[in-house]
Structure 1
């Protein structure tokens, strides 16, 4: 079992992660550790204590983002909103569009970005939302999980690769959702 971290160390780690995400999104893969430390309001030594390498920092950002997606999915699954599927789909596309800089930096660092594990966990999040939407009549009954996953993965990949702006995300998901709704 790992020793418990001091509260200030936990706060500093969170500040470094938030700052790194912001700076990578703004400045791209060439972001300096010094800039991350400045934005986080900590010394560069603090950054290196928590994340000895840029690769460690980037992996932590991705892990943090995956945890936020899982938390959001759990909340939507626990709720009773028949439109939760559409909310989650929209949020995933937006998250993908916002990850371009971090993913580019991970690729630069030589990190394997295979999608098998993330896709498997996404299916577990999407399936209950899809079922609820179909039971509520907000999603066509003939739509199956493999089609939804193909649409979601393709859309997220395009949003990630293109760094889609909000307007393009909205137009694209509107077209997809029109095809998923009954009567399409």
Structure 2
């Protein structure tokens, strides 16, 4: 289709209602997956989002696509928080706040990454680990440069410790255990290296 001047008309922007439906589906899926796990009914997600199953499948052709969208949204939010915290006054507090947010993320989302890998092992996925590692590295490096974090610690060490806390406390009846374990990790982060550099 051309205009009177012979130029092709631009493609119409994505309809606002379609974009809003997609956002509502991702937000609802986050809640439902947190409540019922990554195997939750997609029809239930559509119902709670106030749309028909056809609308859900137009945006997300399968469970893997929806899980990826939810995980991407959560990780982008977590990494955005790291970026904001990097400009805060205290590098030590910034690292501690972000590690608490990451622990919450790891506890809430622990089954989603596994479900993605099991559901479609050959599908191109989201490199969650690298995004999280980069966010942790930025905050840890800043704390190390300010002298508030031990220099022999790597971002990978820190991420593994927090993931370990999330996994080991997943079924714990002691709701404060994960926070106590994270406090121990934070004490270790601020401690002196155990080996000479």
Both proteins in one fold, TM over 0.5: yes
Task: Give ranges in structure 2 of 5+ residues lacking alignment.
Answer: 1-10
**1:132 to 2:139 alignment:** no
Q: TM-score normalized by structure 1? A: 0.81
Alignment of 1:29-178 (within 5 A): 29-82=38-91, 83-111=93-121, 117-140=127-150, 142-145=151-154, 148-160=155-167, 163=170, 167-178=176-187
Question: Is the 1:85–1:129 contact (alpha carbons within 8 Å) kept by the matching residues of 2?
Answer: yes
**C-alpha displacement of 1:157:** 4.5
User: What are the superposed Cα offsets for residues 42-95 of structure 1, whole Å, 9 maximum, x if unpaired?
Assistant: 111111111011111111111112211221111112333321011111211110
The verdict on how the C-alpha distance between 1:52 and 1:128 changes in structure 2, with shifts beyond 3 A counting, is closer
Unpaired segments of 5 or more residues in structure 1? Answer: none
The structure, 1 or 2, with the larger RCO (C-alpha pairs under 8 Å, 6+ apart) is 1
1 CA distance for matches of 2:115 and 2:12? Answer: 31
3-state secondary structure, aligned to 2:176: helix
- What's the counterpart of residue 5 of structure 2? none
SS in 2 for 1:78: coil
**Alpha-carbon separation, structure 2, partners of 1:115 and 1:44:** 24
For the aligned residue pairs, the C-alpha RMSD in angstroms reads 3.0
Q: How many residues align?
A: 181
Larger Rg: 2
Query: How far has the Cα of 1:30 moved from its partner?
Result: 2.9
- 1:25–1:99 CA contact under 8 A, matched in 2: yes
Distance in 2 (CA, whole Å) between partners of 1:138 and 1:132 is 9
Q: Deviations over 1:120-142 (max 9, x none)?
A: 333432233223323444323x3
Structure 1 residues 31 and 118: CA distance shift in structure 2, 3 A: closer
Given that 1:25 and 1:100 are in contact with CA atoms closer than 8 Å, whether structure 2 keeps it comes out as no
Once the 2 structures are TM-superposed, how far is the Cα of residue 4 of structure 1 from its aligned partner? 3.1
